[in-house]
Structure 1
Amino acid sequence: MSPKWKETIKEKARLLRKQGYSYGQLTKELKVPKSTLHEWIRGVKRPAKFSRLDRIRWIKEIQPLGAQGNKRKREKIVSQIIKEAKNEVSKIQINHETRKAILSLLYWAEGTKVRGALQFANTDPKLILLFINLLRQCYKLDESKFRIRLHLHYYHKVKEIKAYWSKLLSIPTNQFEKIYRKSRSKEKKFRRNYGGICFVKYYNVYLKEKIVQYGYALGEKIAGKVHVPVA
């Protein structure tokens, strides 16, 4: 390339820079590497308004593309984790003792330990169904001793929600207790869910004690005895 031609490109680069062209735009327009452009237009200030426009364009166009890329990457990783988890679980032999162990630890985490009936509560229908299925599989039950209590927000449709839980848990609606409705709060924010909070009750204190003590014994076998100070 001749020195005159090179000087012509330099001048054009400086002119375009003054008109607001970014380094990326200059590279595309002049087919010149950014490192070379940097030497040519050093000291040539780009109008401030174009810097602001670049920022706005980045927020509107470029940033979402990066977020979409990260989302796809994350979804791919999670998909692989799910696949691996299902593969590992498929190899586990789930017998009666395994079910009792899972049930007891589940109740230890989410169930009521104070005096009274067995009571397990959660907002996740999958977890509630897992608990009640394990309970039925591990112990001989009197189905008439089940009671369901629902805590719902103002936006829940009571009849629809009752029918949903009744069908899911195979418990008739005449075994549902009075529903607690939480009034709308202007200050407190909360995450909406479909089914509210479901409390599963089973009126047998001794069964509750069996499940709790099984969990405690299992925890002690795995982690050893733990001294818990009394407040």
Structure 2
Amino acid sequence: MVHIKNNNPKDFAIELRKGGYSYSEIKKFCPVPKSTLSYWFRDIKLSEPQLTRLKKKRIEAAQKGSKARILKTSKAIEEIQKTSAKDVGKISKRELWLMGVILYWRERLLNKNDSDLKKGIRFTSSDPYLIKLFLKWLSDIGGIKNEEINFDIFMPEDKKRSLNEFVDYWAGVTGFTKGNFSRYYLQKVKAKKPKRNSKKSVHGLLRVRVKASSMLARQISGWINGINEILLG
């Protein structure tokens, strides 16, 4: 507890500093600019215990400030996400059509199967939401029935004993029976250092295959060409 014995702000501030108090603590009793305090304290040397205490207080203050900023940022992000979600509203059929075309366009570019349309519709992702979106697109836009769809699972070879878990997961995501998951592929695992905060799916990749869909694939290709023409003028 600080007892004020000196009415002279400078002398009182110097007494506090010699006692090991920090600038912020001293400013509570002597509301003067920090530059003034620095000038007053220029010849004062603190002991090791005093320096250790001040260092500890700085760390605690930084941690407290960091937690407060993180909490404030988290609340702001949560509010933005809630507000943004409301902005979407109802998705029209045309909007769904365009979303699916763009999604499939990206698939073709990633898998370099731009000219391989004979195999029909194929879409691969580890993201359950993208899989659900594409299945809805196939149903609502492509007019594809469930019996026309099959799935392939790609999983790390060191997880082959967990095949049933992979099937259960993707069956739950898609709403299809296990009988629709007819093919399984084991992928070699490359030795790499794990990335921090990696969002890579632990459930492998799922490929959606549509039977006898080469004509729909060509139709999508035409839609993509149409979008290109509009964008390029």
SS in 2 for 1:152: strand
Q: Is 1:79 aligned with 2:82?
A: no
- Aligned partner of 1:216 among 193, 213, 225: 225
- How far 1:151 moved relative to its partner? 2.3
Q: Is 1:33 aligned with 2:42?
A: no
Corresponding residue of 2:208: 200
Instruction: Write the deviation string for residues 3-40 of structure 1: whole angstroms up to 9, x where unpaired.
Output: x9346972x64454345332223345xx2224364454
Instruction: Write the deviation string for residues 71-98 of structure 1: whole angstroms up to 9, x where unpaired.
Output: 23323332333233233322x5613x33
Corresponding residue of 2:139: 136
- How far 1:68 moved relative to its partner? 2.4
Give the alignment's TM-score, normalised by structure 1: 0.75
- Aligned partner of 1:109 among 103, 106, 109: 106
How many pairs does the alignment contain?
215
- Map 1:52-201; keep pairs closer than 5 Å: 53-59=53-59, 61-90=60-89, 92=90, 94-95=92-93, 97-111=94-108, 112-115=113-116, 116-153=119-156, 154=158, 157-183=162-188, 185-190=190-195, 191=198, 192-201=200-209
Q: Distance in 1 between matches of 2:52 and 2:184?
A: 56
Q: Which amino acid aligns with 2:215?
A: Y
Percent identity, aligned pairs only, is 22
- How far 1:138 moved relative to its partner? 1.1
Q: Which amino acid aligns with 1:62?
A: A
Q: Distance in 2 between matches of 1:80 and 1:185?
A: 40
Consecutive unaligned residues of structure 2, counting only runs of 5 or more, are none
Q: Distance in 2 between matches of 1:15 and 1:146?
A: 82
Q: Which amino acid aligns with 2:216?
A: L
Q: Distance in 2 between matches of 1:14 and 1:73?
A: 37
SS in 1 for 2:144: coil
Specify whether residues 62 and 193 from structure 1 end up closer, same or farther in structure 2 by C-alpha distance, changes over 3 A only: farther
- 8 Å CA contact 1:101–1:214 kept in 2: the answer is no
Consecutive unaligned residues of structure 1, counting only runs of 5 or more, are 226-231
- How far 1:199 moved relative to its partner? 1.4
Q: Distance in 1 between matches of 2:115 and 2:181?
A: 22
Indicate the RMSD between aligned Cα atoms, in angstroms.
3.1
- How far 1:125 moved relative to its partner? 0.4
Q: Which amino acid aligns with 1:105?
A: I
Instruction: Write the deviation string for residues 77-127 of structure 1: whole angstroms up to 9, x where unpaired.
Output: 32333233233322x5613x3322221111112245341332111221011
- How far 1:208 moved relative to its partner? 1.4
Specify whether residues 185 and 55 from structure 1 end up closer, same or farther in structure 2 by C-alpha distance, changes over 3 A only: farther
Q: Distance in 1 between matches of 2:183 and 2:54?
A: 59
Q: Distance in 2 between matches of 1:202 and 1:19?
A: 79
